[in-house]
Structure 1
């Protein structure tokens, strides 16, 4: 797939520059396609298109909520029609197993559009309150304006629609900046937007690298920034938005703990254990990659995770039998291999993996890797690796398990594994993270998702995700 134009103002538009972003298959290293690399001029053009669509009389925010909702449902239908191609395109680019890409990249965007369409169609934009000491007040929710959505590569469409769906429902317009590793699937999104008949300029797409992202984030025509990506990049974006007093939502990294309680019946949750820790080859911000195991069951749990890793089918991302695909790129594989060396240097015990799988000489593969006897203070237990690497640390008693779970710079997610859900919920309430799963983990579209500490600012999903794209205005009546 060779994309020659940018989607700006509802049309395919020639880019201002000549540079391109080339994408290779994560599974084979072969050329997949390319797209234009957006310049500052392209960003200017896209922001102006979004600005015009927002500010024009009768523009997108002036549409009745029911009319916006209907347009969102049409976009959902267009995405449904192309879901198979979308999933395959994402899988080929970033190495996500197709069995994961189909339900996530192929289905979640349309689900989000329908959820937020229903939410905004049923919600009132105004609320009247009895005032104190006198009078009444009308509290209004208004769309915040033009949104700069800077996206990640690991779940490119799913995470994009964490932003697109609530922003559209609120009445905002957007400029999307896809990650350079995944610039082909946005062309399929643009086609769906055209099929759905969206007004010109409501959604604009400008692929690019960090420079394009930085320029967009600081653009004077932008009213709100929403970013998903690394904590390091999030800090830079937060600093830029702070200087501009610009609202920002940041969904950043994680190093989540799986707290296995001594009563857990792990044999009944093998699929959930795998998904919680190794989904998308470990390239998942919410993955429970720090396994905290009760000392009395420690050998059993180390053996279970070792067998799980050894039994996982590693292969081409587009093969339906594959459970662990390649990493997104050669630099990402180098990064993960560097962490594996660091774990060995720091004295962790390698129980399986640690190298490149035999017979997969092309693409960016790393064996599923398990480290046992890991100190919670070690590098591999504290830093986000973003690959199929798990650490296992023993603990003595529930209090120590909670202390170890909270002994992290991050606070995005976590899991608790137990046969007693009431006990698990009590432990979950003590873990300082934005989300916790009991005997599994899957974000809930209807509930707030986001992190504490170095895992970010603000929340996506649920009604809270819609409110992130709204401003409040109070009108006082005597």
Structure 2
């Protein structure tokens, strides 16, 4: 049985699309269709933006509500999402190959946490009075930016969606969301939760489609801010459009992060955390440390440890509880990863495990977890984002060289340091050019700003900074003489 929708979620209800095209959702495991939704048109985007504007500006507009009142709605939204958490997790795994145990954490569990966190933060936020230097004082107020155009990817669709939705809605913004066509069934289930929670009409609207529709949303004159997660190439195009329009934009883009193993590290004792920081979600997460830097004095040992890890991972149906590596999201993505494996071999890298499709899988877009040794920092697989279960292990002589190699990248999103001395790791992390770095692991905590530098993006999500990115500041000068 397939999951099929006949309408788009616009202005608080299911609305027929103005076009006739349909997005067919294909399982990366069975290669069979598992559902469908209408593909939105530019006219549908116009309707969604108009609904979002009316919901924001109306007589009882969402932007004018007391933050505590908005928090109550977000709390109900969180409750409804929790009641659908298992179905959400199953839909995501079925669409993109994410192992179900991970989907339960990221896709089922994280969104309600973010809704409550940002709703509570906004409800407690107060205006600020600052004493002036010239004799008076200033009242600093915060107000919602307005209508947000949010564009999300397929790899962690619900968690990334709520990196945007939770702070935007808590701040008082209304949202037009364009999910990736690969993962739309979870977005429509989220719409069902919004309806059940009593979300006011027009506050959230969902218009699935491809790149062209995303470009139309970004350039729409009714949008006040854009928030995008995706490729660096697409992010640069969005940045150009927003720059021309002087439109605020948050960009969370690609990564090629370094996992730096220091000479005192006990990698085997932290192997589960190392897996989560390097190969999680079949290698399809932008902050993963896919460049592993190992001291030359312990290089062979480190390669062996990582190779044993990759060899021991359970490959299989993402809906099975014991699966650690599922299929890649699409045949095109598998072709891309296999192309990089060939480039790695052509540059002189040595495959210690993997490098092929698992022989035990008759269907599905699977690639074995692959480890390359003897990789140099100039090799293609050490510089370009692969977005699959492929690790490149690069040797270094001393800490100075490790820092140089780690920072020799166009990206700067994530990273991790592996050491027996956390203080040493923290000091080393300060020298890494990246927006985020973990010590003996990597976790995006809701309280901490997340985002990248260089080709990894602009702006921050999560933490108070995530809420602030959807607010405008106004200074009201008091006691002026």
TM-score range (shorter-chain normalised) is over 0.9
Residue 51 of structure 2 corresponds to which residue in structure 1? 49
Three-state SS of the structure 2 residue aligned to 1:292 is strand
Aligned equivalent of 1:147 = 148
Choose which of 117, 120, 134 in structure 2 pairs with 1:118: 120
Structure 2 counterpart of 1:324: 325
Provide the C-alpha distance between the structure 1 equivalents of 2:133 and 2:221, rounded to a whole number of angstroms. 38
**Whole-angstrom CA distance in 1 between matches of 2:125 and 2:474:** 16
3-state SS of the aligned residue for 2:45? helix
Match of 1:412 in 2: 413
The offset of 1:132, in angstroms, is 2.5
Corresponding residue SS for 2:280? helix
The 1-side partners of 2:167 and 2:29 are apart by: 34
Cα displacement (A) at 1:281: 0.2
Q: Which residue of 2 aligns with 1:299?
A: 300
| 1:134 Cα offset (Å) | 2.4
CA offset at residue 212 of structure 1? 0.6
Aligned residue for 2:273?
272
Q: Give the CA deviation at 1:123.
A: 1.1
Q: What is the aligned partner in structure 2 of residue 90 from structure 1?
A: 92
Say which SS state the counterpart of residue 276 (structure 2) adopts. Answer: helix
1:212-227 matched pairs, under 5 angstroms: 212-227=213-228
Distance 1:474 1:123 in 2: 16
Tell me which residue corresponds to 2:441: 440
Give the structure 1 partner of residue 371 of structure 2: 370
- 1:405-443 Cα offsets, whole Å, 9 max, x none, are 000000001000000011000000000100000000010
State the alpha-carbon separation in 1 of the partners of residues 120 and 45 from structure 2.
32
Partner secondary structure for residue 81 of structure 2: helix
Q: Return the alpha-carbon distance in structure 2 between the equivalents of residues 113 and 268 of structure 1.
A: 35
Distance 2:198 2:427 in 1: 49
User: Residue 37 of structure 1: CA displacement?
Assistant: 0.9
The alpha-carbon deviation at position 144 of structure 1 amounts to 0.3
How far apart are the structure 1 equivalents of 2:434 and 2:48?
36
**Matched residues in 1 for 2:129 and 2:10: separation?**
39
Mapped pair 1:16 → 2:15: no
CA offsets, 1:171-210, max 9 Å, x none? 0000000001101111100000001001100000000000
- Cα distance in 2, alignment partners of residues 120 and 177 from structure 1: 25
Q: Distance in 1 between matches of 2:247 and 2:163?
A: 19
Structure 2 partner of 1:187: 188
- Could you say which residue in structure 1 is the equivalent of 2:233? 232
Tell me which residue corresponds to 2:78: 76
Q: 1:1-54 deviations in whole A, cap 9, x for unaligned?
A: 011100000000000000011111111101111111110000000000000000
Structure 1 residue runs of 4 or more that deviate by more than 4 Å after TM superposition:
none
Cα distance in 2 for residues equivalent to 1:267 and 1:340? 26
Number of the residue aligned with 1:397:
398
Structure 2 unaligned regions, length at least 5? none
Q: Which secondary structure does the structure 2 equivalent of 1:259 belong to?
A: strand
Whole-angstrom CA distance in 2 between matches of 1:237 and 1:417: 36
**Alpha-carbon distance, 1:476 to partner:** 1.2
1:381 aligns with: 382
Instruction: Note if 1:172 corresponds to 2:173.
Output: yes
Is residue 130 from structure 1 mapped to residue 144 from structure 2 by the alignment? no
* Alpha-carbon distance between aligned partners in 2 of 1:148 and 1:313, rounded to the nearest angstrom: 39
Q: Distance in 2 between matches of 1:361 and 1:467?
A: 49
Specify the alignment match of 2:286 in structure 1: 285
Gaps of 5+ in 1: none
Deviations 1:421-476 (A, max 9, x none): 11000000000100000000010100100000000000000000000000011111
Name the CA distance, whole Å, in 1 between partners of 2:268 and 2:368. 23
RMSD, matched Cα = 0.6
- SS of 2:322's partner is coil
Number of residue equivalences: 477
CA distance in 2 between partners of 1:383 and 1:22 (Å): 30
**What secondary structure is seen at the aligned counterpart in 1 of 2:201?**
coil
TM-score (norm 2): 0.99
Structure 1-normalised TM-score?
Answer: 0.99
Q: Deviations over 1:86-131 (max 9, x none)?
A: 000000000000010001100000000011011111111x111122
